[in-house]
């Protein structure tokens, strides 16, 4: 478990260091609304599929080497559901931030809050989905025989859809700012 925590910490530390080197401030990535939305939404999504006991067991199995392949496969599936939940919740958080921006187009001073919710929600969802749940899933599957499963449409569409939405938000913001001058 220590190795996993150190690896996650090193990735997050590298992100913070690069932010600092580029002139960003330490709190740039801390947005409580987005954190509540992503953590609460993904937790609720997972608990609608699995019981709290099953989820807790999956976390335990990710750090045990003596678990059966069947137990490891089920735990890996729980983390796959959590990854999918994070992708969906992150995109919904982006849309919520976009709605906030649209409500405040007449006041450019209020646009920053909505943009922050939108973008940071996606960042938190990627961190939780890929760095946390993805690495736990990989730990469980590393000794398993390879399978040929297709990714869900949500997984395939989340990144391009998110990029298009961010591009749209950028142009809406530019338009709003040009109207104020």
More confident residue, 17 or 180: 17
Name the average pLDDT for the chain. Answer: 79
Q: pLDDT by residue (tens digit) across 106-118?
A: 887 877 777 878 8
**8 A C-beta contact, residue 139 and residue 80:** no
DSSP-derived 3-state class of residue 121: helix
Domain ranges of the chain: 30-179
Checking if the pLDDT of 155 tops 60, the result is no
Q: pLDDT by residue (tens digit) across 84-131?
A: 888 888 888 888 888 888 888 888 787 777 787 888 888 888 888 888
Q: Average pLDDT for residues 22-45, to the nearest whole number?
A: 82
Show the 3-state SS of 134-175: HHHHHHHHCCCCCCCCCCCHHHHHHHHHHHHHHHHHHHHHHH
**8 A C-beta contact, residue 90 and residue 158:** yes
The pTM for the full model equals 0.71
Checking if the pLDDT of 15 tops 80, the result is no
pLDDT of residue 19: 73
Checking if the pLDDT of 58 tops 70, the result is yes
């Amino acid at each position: 478990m220590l190795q996993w925590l150190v690896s996650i910490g090193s990735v997050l530390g590298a992100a913070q260091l690069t932010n600092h080197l580029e002139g960003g401030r330490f709190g740039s990535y801390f947005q409580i609304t987005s954190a509540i939305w992503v953590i609460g939404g993904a937790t609720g999504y997972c608990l609608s599929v699995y019981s709290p006991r099953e989820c807790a067991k999956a976390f335990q199995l990710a750090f045990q080497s003596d678990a059966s392949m069947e137990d490891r496969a089920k735990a890996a599936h729980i983390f796959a559901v959590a990854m999918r939940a994070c992708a969906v919740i992150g995109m919904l958080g982006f849309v919520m931030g976009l709605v906030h921006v649209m409500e405040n187009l007449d006041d450019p001073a209020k646009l920053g809050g909505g943009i922050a919710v939108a973008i940071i929600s996606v960042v938190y969802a990627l961190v939780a989905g890929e760095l946390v749940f993805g690495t736990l899933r990989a730990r469980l599957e590393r000794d398993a025989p390879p399978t040929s499963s297709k990714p869900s449409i949500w997984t395939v569409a989340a990144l391009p859809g998110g990029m298009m939405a961010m591009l749209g938000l950028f142009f809406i913001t530019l338009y709003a700012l040009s109207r104020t001058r």
